[in-house]
């Protein structure tokens, strides 16, 4: 009997990608109207054309900056509130309704409210932060609460002190939770951030370009911008994971 050789993971991923592009192409052919479902080549051509314009780069850069700023602010704030709530039940009781409301409220409600409250250029920052904050907060809090009590006792016996206990006991326990939260939230921040750009017409933004494409029925543009969002999201996620992996290697003694 012949032994079947397994294809490398990268080849299998590529084949899966080709398969789904094929499905998209077939659907496009069946529908037969580029204005409804443009074909992959049409989108590729349009993306290539967009790549030749400075508007494309400015829009991408400003969207990345806005969403990353919101993401970063939420990570910092989530770490602070996570530590606070893990260490103080009074703070946890006080902040718990706030996070419950954020989690339960539809993102569209926040975007519309934000349109009333703040400068439209800052809305994507605010919305991205709002979507990321409860996840990071919850994960950091969970990471602290899950810290091994036996290791904390060991640290006490051997007189580690606050700084050392934080570095060698708490951090290794919390970081996996924080990284998992950050990985989950990157996609979330992008989706919510771009959605808010669409609704608030932020100048020079991917969301605004998507909206313009919809207004002028330039579906290939819409697809090209969507592909751009996906690619940037994947790149940022890979960069984050590479940074995490580098940090993990460095901290091992």
Partner 1 sequence: MITVKNLHKSFDNNVVFDGFSLELPNRGFYAVSGPSGSGKTTLFRLICGLDTEYGGEIDVEGKISYVFQENRLLPHMTSYGNVFTVCGDKEKSLSLLSSVGLEDAVDKYPSELSGGMNRRVAIARALSFGHDILLLDEPFTALDADIKDKIINLIKEREKDKLLLIITHDPDEISALGCEEIKIND
Q: Which residues bind partner 1 (CB under 8 A)?
A: 150-151, 153-154, 156-160, 164, 168-169, 172, 251-253
Cβ neighbours around 224 below 10 Å, total: 25
Output the smallest distance, CB 253 to partner 1, in A.
4
Indicate the residue among 76 and 154 with the shorter CB distance to partner 1.
Answer: 154
Q: Phi and psi dihedrals of 71, rounded to 5? A: -60, -50
Q: Is 170 helix (H, G, I), strand (E, B) or coil?
A: helix
* H or E element that contains 61: helix 54-87
Indicate the residue among 40 and 172 with the shorter CB distance to partner 1.
Answer: 172
Which residue carries 């349009």 as its tokens? 46
Indicate the residue among 24 and 160 with the shorter CB distance to partner 1.
Answer: 160
What does the block give as tokens for 124?
């994507």
Output the smallest distance, CB 157 to partner 1, in A.
5
How far apart CA 240 and CA 73 sit, in angstroms, is 16
Output the smallest distance, CB 144 to partner 1, in A.
16
How far apart CA 21 and CA 184 sit, in angstroms, is 25
Output the smallest distance, CB 145 to partner 1, in A.
18
């Amino acid at each position: 009997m012949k032994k079947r050789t397994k294809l490398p993971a990268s080849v299998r991923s590529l084949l899966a990608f080709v398969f789904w592009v094929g499905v998209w192409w077939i659907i496009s052919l069946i529908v037969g109207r580029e204005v409804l479902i443009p074909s992959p080549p049409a989108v590729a051509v349009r993306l290539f054309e967009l790549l030749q314009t400075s508007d494309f780069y400015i829009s991408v850069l400003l969207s990345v900056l806005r969403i990353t700023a919101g993401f970063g602010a939420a990570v910092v704030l989530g770490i602070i509130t996570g530590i606070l709530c893990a260490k103080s039940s009074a703070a946890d009781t006080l902040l718990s309704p706030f996070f419950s409301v954020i989690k339960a409220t539809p993102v569209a409600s926040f975007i519309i409210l934000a349109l009333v409250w703040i400068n439209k250029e800052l809305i994507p920052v605010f919305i991205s932060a709002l979507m990321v904050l409860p996840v990071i907060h919850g994960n950091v809090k969970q990471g602290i609460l899950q810290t091994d009590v036996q290791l904390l006792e060991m640290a006490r016996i051997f007189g580690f002190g606050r700084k050392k206990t934080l570095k060698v006991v708490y951090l290794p326990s919390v970081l996996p939770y924080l990284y998992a939260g950050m990985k989950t939230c990157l996609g979330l921040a992008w989706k919510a951030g771009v959605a808010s750009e669409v609704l608030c017409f932020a100048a020079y933004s991917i969301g605004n370009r998507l909206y313009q494409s919809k207004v002028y029925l330039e579906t290939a543009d819409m697809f090209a911008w969507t592909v751009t969002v996906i690619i940037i999201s994947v790149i940022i996620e890979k960069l984050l994971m590479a940074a995490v992996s580098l940090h993990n290697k460095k901290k091992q003694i």
